[in-house]
Amino acid sequence: MSLGAMDRLLLKQNLVWAWRKAVHLYRVTDGLQNQEEVAAFDLDLERNLDRIARDIKSEAYKLAPLRLLPQPKSSDPGVVRSRQSFEVSVRDQVTWMRARLEPEDAGIGRGRRLEAGRKQHRPA
């Protein structure tokens, strides 16, 4: 029996893979992250992943508001400037990572950088 797109999206093993991908992203990027939020999500990982699946399945998933996160920008001496960036909640980042695993199912395009990772691990 083959699984439908929604069933594959909500498989626990695929949500765990998305969590691992998000954690890797947090480790390799030079942007700021809320390490407290990442640790709290990890401490209650199973329940958090179950909530994501439940909310998507019941069509109750709501994105958290983006948080403004100004970052210093290199500037002339004596001139303080910052670039605007935004912090995405850990829950929304994990959900997005999961949607990116099978973009044809989610109706979105796939970035080239994900191609290499997709060849290493193909979600069920």
Count of domains observed in the chain: 1
Are 122 and 14 contacting, i.e. CB atoms less than 8 angstroms apart?
Answer: no
Question: Domain span at residue 92?
Answer: 5-120
Is 60 exceeded by the pLDDT of residue 20?
Answer: yes
Q: Inform me whether the pLDDT recorded for 67 exceeds 70.
A: yes
Work out the mean pLDDT of the chain and round it to a whole number: 79
User: Within its chain, how far is the Cα of 109 from the centroid?
Assistant: 16
Sign of CA dihedral 116, 36, 57, 96: negative
Distance CA 89, CA 83 (A): 19
Instruction: Answer whether residue 28 shows pLDDT above 50.
Output: yes
pLDDT value, residue 105: 44
Compute the average pLDDT of residues 49-72: 91
The residues, any chain, with a CB within 8 Å of residue 73's CB and separated by 6 or more, are: 81, 82, 83
For range 3-14, the mean pLDDT: 81
pLDDT of residue 94: 94
Residues 97 and 102: their CA atoms lie apart, in Å, by 10
- Judged against a pLDDT cut of 80, whether residue 62 lies above it is answered with yes
Residue 17 or 118, more confident? 17
Confidence at residue 54, expressed as pLDDT on a 0 to 100 scale: 94
